[in-house]
Structure 1
Amino acid sequence: MPRAVIFSLAFIVSAVPLAGQTANLPIASITIGPPDTLTFIGPPDSLTFEPGELISLMRLKAPRLLSGGTPFSRRALRMDALTIEHFYISHGYLEARVDESFTVTSDERVDVYLRVTEGRQSMLSEISLTGNRLLTKEEIVQFLGIRLGEPYNPVDIRGRLEALRHHYQDQGKLTIDILEEPEVNDGVHLRLSISEGLTYTIGNVTVTGLKRVPEWYVTRELLFHRGDIFSRSKLLLGQQRVFESGLFSSVEITPLVQAMEPGIADIEVRVRELGRGSFDFSAGFARKEAARRGEPNTALSSSFQWWHSRIFNTSLRTGITLEGNLIWQRPLKTPDFLAAWDIVSPWTLGARLPSSVRIYSDYRTTPDIVWRQGVDLSLRPRRTQRHQPRGSIGWVLITTPADPDSIAAGEERGFRFEYLFQGADNLLAPRRGTIFQVKYSLQRTLLPGQPSYRLVELDIRRYHSLLRNTVFAYRFKMGHLKTFPAGIKLRHYHLFDLGGSTSLRGWANPSSFYEEGGMAKWLVNAELRVPLFWRLGGQLFVDAGGLDAFLREGNPGYDPYRPTLEWVTGWDVGAGLLISTPLGPIRVDAAFPWRRGNFTRDPTLQVAFLHTF
């Protein structure tokens, strides 16, 4: 056997146990600095960026006071070195290099060393363009958003050049080509060579893959026709609209350039028809609306859905939903139940406006039994992942135990509008971003004299990611009810509630805060969420809120013939333990409410699913 092969086998055999010995060992420390010698790292003062900022980019983490760190991995260390290199390059340090190494201590822990050679920072000194005819140099530079004298960021510029290509393609330049040639000397001279090509118009539009669905249900969703100037944005939006029609499981729209017809792009639309019937079953943690107008409760939820598509080979579809929810709030009650029949269409009265009709029976038990049976007609203007408007009109019959103090009837009709801005990075465990929601409702009860009421509710949430995966989150929420004519006392299920695991955690449930409910509310929550170790985390929180509530019998100023309102406020502080699961966090909170000028000695314990907000 050749000597080289023997040495190679010996190296592999010796390396395997070494890898096994270092994998998953705990990390003792992470040191970042400039190279001093082959074995030592110099002081980090000469680095442009603070070591803490660079360490925050890494996957590997050293243990801290409230964090156990991460296990060591050679692959993760190499990826972290490349991440820091990429960070430097994005700030103009084109020659930056990061060398990684590690040592294993006697107590089988790992010390990690990263030696950063920054090099010289390159600034953008000049931009020159050739081949541009459709757009001027000033328009292109403004579109790219780059300025002379700033650090040259090749990664960001490539992304902006891709957006510039798309901008050209929206104006018919289907075959646009942009060549980027940076010349690095004392500064960076960025040369852009643009080959615009011909201006293309749409030729033949063909649809393939249809079996039973008429072609018209595809072509009506397209935003381009034969003879139009080619537009990439219209092509992609048309593809999305065809898919959202609910008739197809896949949609691909491809422009075809023919050499025999310069400047003409034929369009091929390939579809695959969706099966007529589908079933879906899901179970997990969820937030569900309370029977009253309190904060949504956390619940163990399960649902079954059956959908039938392509009714009469059209875009109409219908479905049945059965849902059960065990509300996790003391005292536990029988599960809530929802049964609904939906009819959904992406078009309404000849306009591309998705709509649905729902006939439902909604039985809720927490905090009181309220049974709603009704019909809703909903309109959903164009929605995106971030912007979600919804408007509806409906009729509902509400059945609840007797409420002799109430005047409002249990039968209502009215209008509702909701708008949700979903700007958080994650729905289950948000770390950064904003969520904004507003609700407006105008309802009319069917009684002699036709009393009505108006509801306005506002919800703002903010999430900030701090060092070591710590998250600071806060929420402000307010709501207001107004009756017409004034002075009417609405039934309990109309009124606002506070108290429980999703609002004021110092009170076990809404009844323990104020049983009567209120015509207005405000609520503020703030939390500091800190990862600890494994799947465990902790949180510190403060809650405050108030209700503009009806006086109860025995209160000063109570008049049974003239309902009187008075603000009732409360606040609490506490701490909690978070357990991360694939379905979302489980939390155990201990809150100390402020009562009679002091915090109570005995905390209120809350066990719930998902974050408070």
Structure 2
Amino acid sequence: MNYSGKIFTAAALFMTLCCANMSAQEQKPQEPAPQDSTQLREVTFSENAPMFKSSGDPKLYYIRKINVHGVKYLNPDVLKSSAGLIEGDSIYLPSNFISNAITRFWSQRFFSDVKIGAEIEGDSLDLEVFLKERPRVYNWAFEGISKGKQKDLLEKLKLKRGSELSDYVIDKNKKLIHDYWAEKGFRNTEVDVRIDNDTLRPGQAVNVTFLIDRKEKVKIGRIDFIGNTQFPDKRLRRTFKKTHQKSINIFKGAKLNESDYAADKELLIDFYNSKGYRNATIIRDSIYPINEKRLGIDLEVSEGNKYYIRNVSWVGNSVYETDALQRMFGVKTGDTYDKKTMQKRLGIGKESNPEEMSVSSLYQNEGYLMSQIEPAETIIGADSIDIEVKVFEGKQFTINNVGISGNQRVDDEVIRRELYTRPGELYNRSLLMQTIRTLGSMGHFNPETIMPDIKPVTNELVDINWPLEEQASDQFNIAGGWGSGTFVGSVGITLNNLSVKNFFKKGAWRPYPMGQNQRLSLSAQTNGTYYKAFALSFTDPWLGGKKPNSFTFSAHISEQNNAYYVWQSATQYFRTYGVAAGLGKRLNWPDPYFTFYAEASYERYNLKNWTGFVVENGNSNLLSLKLVFGRNSVDQPIYPRRGSEFSASVQATLPYSLWDGKDYSDQSMSEQDRYGWVEFHKWQFKAQWFQGFLNNSNLVLMLKAEMGYLGSYNKNKVSPFQRYEVGGDGMSGYNIYGIDIIAMRGYEDGALDPTNYYSRGYNKYTAELRYPIILKPSSQIYVLGFLEGGNAFDSWKEFSPFKIKRSAGFGVRLYLPVVGMLGIDWGYGFDPPANSTTKSGSQFHFVLGQQF
């Protein structure tokens, strides 16, 4: 090339980064190295050319070509664009154009060296960009921790193979690792890094290993308060919910979590505010080491004066009378200043709860979406406060549009009919909360993520959108249990989103017609030849699709005989045939949570040579009507945090003995005549209540009580069917005589029944404390501790709600959408079972399915 008449000028900037030791992921097969962009053009001038002059008159140049050298892993065209280098552009030189481009390259953190040169010919120039990429991390690894923790850290740090190595990456991940272990109580964790060149890619790739030394776990040794005169240290420590000093209470963790500690300091101030100390503050706090295993916390507080309410006034309210608002507020002259209670009753601040009645909810439930309640406090003297509650009512909002998104399996019409927020109606927050509960109880959507998107579109109209996250709801169960001296296996399938109307629709079977929230359940139980049972049930929650009136149909058949092996013929058997149909209705009074259900059923028991039971030969018929009155305000079905559920039911047959003219006191009457038509009246009551210990708390207390009694119209014709089996877990899979199985942990199956013919009455009380481990649509896991008491009785005269057998224990529950609820409990029975003098003692129980 002829260089006469050419002027060559180059600009370069040099910078080198020193790489510290780093670390780790698993090995993969070697991949072919990316092509180096420098292979496309040979550089014909020195890289160490003089820099552009910063002085002199700027001259306009045309960028003819831009060549990028040294890039192996990145796209040269993308790099040029990100640095603002575009072929065809015009630039002035000298200027800050080159320095700006170099700065943009450095800001990407991909390079350890950046140089830019230029070859100038007349008013045109070719830019030559020399880049040296940082080495890539071929493998990340950890030393000093278990494989399980290594996997957790890889996911938490989001370490990827092929990413660039830099001091920033190393320092950031060292800090994240330290914070990870500090949250677990290892506050003295040391993290170092080892960086090794990859033997197959020297100079291009490295292997980074984080060397972790957790040291000893550090716990809080003491928490001391300074400046407190009104409350002792012990009382102030109790205001902390998650920050506790080491004590003999094993249920209180003593590790320090920075975010929990910050939240607990706010709780300390809330406590002072609730006791009248409005101006209480934390002047300073310090965390200091006591030794290698303990740290201490000092908090200096300024309590200030205790304040009392002098006057309460209201301004701005026109919709509600001041007296009505004041009655709900409930704060009067002379009361101790209590910020927490005031905010709760007004429905503002962090104490607001949309589920509870408050001044704010009065307005929100009548369409005043933009209403605001603001209490203004005026200090009078040294210990008095005047409260002026300012009410900004605004205009009533009407619902404009209601949208639904995220549903793929459930039809829009099925969801819309469950909504209490409808276009054209006034906005109502209570109906909004009721809709959240209703959608959660359907079982098709993740209840943890159901939250409406509320968007005002004008000063009087609001759109409400319901983004939904679907979860699997169909279930397939396989189980086995031991009952009546034999192993019984069971299999069942439940389709919770069936659509009967689409049975004959083309393309609807994927894998079955779905979308209408109808429920079909099929189950079978057998141990081979000795026992077998089949059951079917179908429920349509909206019969006809117009009103929430449900229809349920069920049928079952079972047989137990003495043919223990396939080649044997049965000479004894007990067969059951049953069919039932019921209608349910949602009630609007006393409130929308109430329901009523009526069911008519027929069962036929066929016995042949069935010794050991009241009836030995013949047929017994049972025609009954069942009525159930219930209420359910539970927020969600799998892990409820608040709400209650109760049901009261009665099932009765006709009193045949009143008119059939038979003398049932005659002991010579055959059992076939006595029980040809079974008669009884059966009463049952169940109630349970859920309450989180704090707002939005996952720690939940469940209290439950239930009782049942089987009565008779004639004391000489007491039904041997439809009784109760009390005790155990009910997992035997074995059920005849139409009995109801009442689980009672800490005791074996049927251990509390006073006779061999089961029980006519029972009571049961349960208290459970639950805490979740995982709450995700794919799986939900929670642990529990329980106290339980109950008993079984053979007559109403013997029945007593206070005669109970006690037990306690703990367990775990796992909910998988495909199989339903699974669980295992360990219980200890403190009392002897029926007809025994020995304590029941330790028992393990298995759970399959939701129980109530």
Both structures adopt the same fold (TM-score exceeding 0.5): yes
Which residue is 2:600 aligned to?
A: 394
CA–CA distance in structure 2, aligned partners of residues 442 and 318 of structure 1:
28
> Is the contact made by 2:240 and 2:265 (CA closer than 8 Å) also made in structure 1?
no
* Cα deviations by residue, 1:319-367 (Å, 9 ceiling, x for unpaired): 322457999xxxxx9898754333231778x6x44312233437699xx
Q: 2:614 aligns with which of 397, 405, 413?
A: 405
Q: Which residue of 2 aligns with 1:440?
A: 650
Q: Secondary structure at the match of 1:452?
A: coil
* Partner of residue 490, structure 1: 719
Q: CA 1:518–1:578 in 2, change beyond 3 Å: closer, same or farther?
A: closer
Identity %: 11
Whether the 8 Å CA contact 1:496–1:517 is kept in 2: the answer is no
Distance 2:438 2:807 in 1: 49
CA distance in 1, matches of 2:452, 2:744: 50
Whichever structure has more strand as a proportion of its residues is 1
Shift of 1:405: 2.2
Show the counterpart of 2:553: 358
Matches within 5 A, 1:477-516: 477-491=706-720, 493-500=721-728, 508-510=748-750, 513-516=753-756
Equivalent AA in structure 1 for residue 710 of structure 2: L
Match of 2:428 among 232, 235, 241: 232
Q: State the partner residue of 1:453.
A: 680
Length, aligned pairs only: 548
1:96 aligns with 2:293: no
1:311–1:566 CA distance, 2 compared to 1 (3 A): same
Deviation (angstroms), 1:499: 3.4
Question: Are the counterparts in 2 of residues 503 and 543 from structure 1 also a CA contact under 8 Å?
Answer: no
1:284-363 alignment runs, 5 A limit? 304-309=494-499, 311=501, 317-322=517-522, 338-345=535-542, 352-361=547-556
Q: Secondary structure at the match of 2:266?
A: helix
- Correspondence for 1:381: 586
Shift of 1:108: 1.3
Pick one of 261, 265, 284 that aligns with 1:81.
265
> Could you report, residue by residue, the CA deviation over 1:545-602 in whole angstroms, capped at 9, with x for unpaired residues?
341269xxxxxxxxxxxxxx988999887775535455587332343544899953x7
Partner of 1:547: 793
SS in 1 for 2:682: strand
CA gap of 1:145–1:458, structure 2 versus 1, over 3 A, is same
Distance 1:104 1:223, change over 3 A: closer
Q: Tell me if 1:109 matches 2:294.
A: yes
Q: Deviations 1:520-559 (Å, cap 9, x if unpaired)?
A: 324455779899xxx9999796856341269xxxxxxxxx
Quote how far apart the aligned CAs of 1:454 are: 0.8
* Residues in 1 aligned to 2:812 and 2:846: alpha-carbon distance in whole angstroms: 10
Q: Deviations over 1:154-206 (max 9, x none)?
A: 44434415543442355565554444322234322222333444567x69879
Residue 242 (structure 2) aligns with = 59
Correspondence for 2:845:
608
The CA distance in 2 between the partners of 1:255 and 1:473, in whole Å, is 36
Contact 1:496 1:547 in 2 (8 A): no
Aligned to 2:253: 70
Structure 2 CA distance for aligned equivalents of residues 241 and 506 of structure 1: 34
Q: Which residue of 2 aligns with 1:578?
A: 810
Larger RCO (CA under 8 A, 6+ residues apart):
1
Amino acid across the alignment from 2:757: G
Q: Return the match for 2:829 from 569, 585, 591.
A: 591
CA contact (8 A) 2:286 2:299 kept: yes
The CA distance in 2 between the partners of 1:203 and 1:389, in whole Å, is 28
2:140 aligned partner: none
Task: Give the distance between the partners of 1:60 and 1:536, measured in 2 at CA.
Answer: 23
1:139 to 2:324 alignment: yes
Cα shift at 1:607? 0.4
Cα-to-partner distance string for 1:457-507 (whole Å, 9 max, x where unaligned): 2346689999xx99999866443222234421323x412333335666675
Q: CA deviation at 1:455?
A: 0.9
Query: Is the Cα–Cα contact under 8 Å of residues 455 and 479 in structure 1 kept in the other structure?
Result: yes
SS of match in other structure, 2:623: strand
**Residues 285, 181 of structure 1: CA spacing in aligned structure 2 closer, same or farther, 3 A cutoff?**
farther
Paired with 2:795 and 2:270, the residues of 1 have a C-alpha distance of 57
Deviations 1:296-319 (A, max 9, x none): xxx999754252349479996533
Structure 1 residue identity aligned to 2:650:
Y
| CA-to-aligned-CA distance 1:75-105 (integer Å, 9 cap, x gap) | 1333322222233234332322345444444
Q: Which amino acid aligns with 1:413?
A: S
Cα distance, 1:436–1:63 mapped onto 2, change above 3 Å = farther
Secondary structure of 1:33's counterpart equals strand
Equivalent residue letter for 1:588: W
Counterpart contact for 1:386–1:422, Cα < 8 Å: no
Which secondary structure state, in structure 1, belongs to the residue aligned with residue 217 of structure 2? coil
CA deviations on 1:427-478 (whole Å, 9 max, x unpaired) are 7799x99775433222359999855311112346689999xx9999986644
> What stretches of structure 1 of length at least 5 have no aligned partner?
2-8, 36-43, 260-264, 293-298, 328-332, 551-564
**Pair 71,197 (structure 1): closer, same or farther in 2 beyond 3 Å:** closer
Q: Secondary structure at the match of 1:79?
A: helix
- Structure 1 residues 73, 243: closer, same or farther in 2, change over 3 A? closer
Aligned partners of 1:130 and 1:193 also within 8 Å: yes
Q: Partner amino acid for 2:614?
A: D
Q: Cα–Cα, structure 1 residues 316 and 153, in superposed 2: closer, same or farther, change >3 Å? A: same
What secondary structure is seen at the aligned counterpart in 2 of 1:484? Answer: coil
Q: In 2, Cα distance between the equivalents of 1:483 and 1:220?
A: 41
Q: Work out whether residues 256 and 268 of structure 1, in 8 Å CA contact, stay in contact via their aligned partners in 2.
A: yes
- Hey, what's the Cα distance between the residues in 1 that align with 2:833 and 2:440? 54
Is 2:386 the counterpart of 1:192? Answer: no
**Cα distance between partner residues in 2 of 1:529 and 1:240:** 24
Contact 1:253–1:269, Cα closer than 8 Å, also in 2:
yes
The offset of 1:420, in angstroms, is 5.2
Tell me which amino acid in the other structure corresponds to 1:441.
Answer: Q
Counterpart amino acid of residue 791 in structure 2: G
**TM-score normalised per structure 2:** 0.49
Instruction: Check 1:341–1:234 CA distance in 2 against 1; reply closer, same or farther (3 A cut).
Output: same
Relative distance call for 1:203 and 1:102 in structure 2 (3 A) is closer
Partner AA of 1:130 in structure 2:
V
Equivalent residue of 1:409, what SS? strand
- Number of the residue aligned with 1:416: 627
SS in 1 for 2:586: coil
Q: Which residue in 2 is equivalent to 1:27?
A: 219
* 8 Å contact from structure 1 (residues 283, 302) kept in 2: yes
Normalised TM-score (structure 1):
0.65
Q: Given that residues 399 and 461 in structure 2 are in contact (C-alpha distance below 8 angstroms), is that contact kept between their aligned partners in structure 1?
A: yes
Per-residue CA deviation, residues 376-426 of structure 1 (Å, 9 max, x unaligned), is: 323142499995544121324355765562498244331231435678999
Asked if the contact 2:706–2:764 (Cα under 8 Å) also holds between the matched residues in 1, the reply is yes
Cα distance in structure 2, aligned partners of 1:342 and 1:425: 20
RMSD over aligned Cα atoms: 6.2
The answer on whether the counterparts of 1:503 and 1:525 sit within 8 Å (CA) in structure 2 is no
Q: For 2:325, what is the secondary structure of its paired residue?
A: helix
1:59 CA drift (Å): 1.0
The residue identity in structure 2 corresponding to 1:183 is T
User: Is 1:281 aligned to 2:470, yes or no?
Assistant: no
Between 1:120-129 and 1:302-311, the stretch displaced more is 302-311
Which residue does the alignment assign to 2:566?
Answer: none
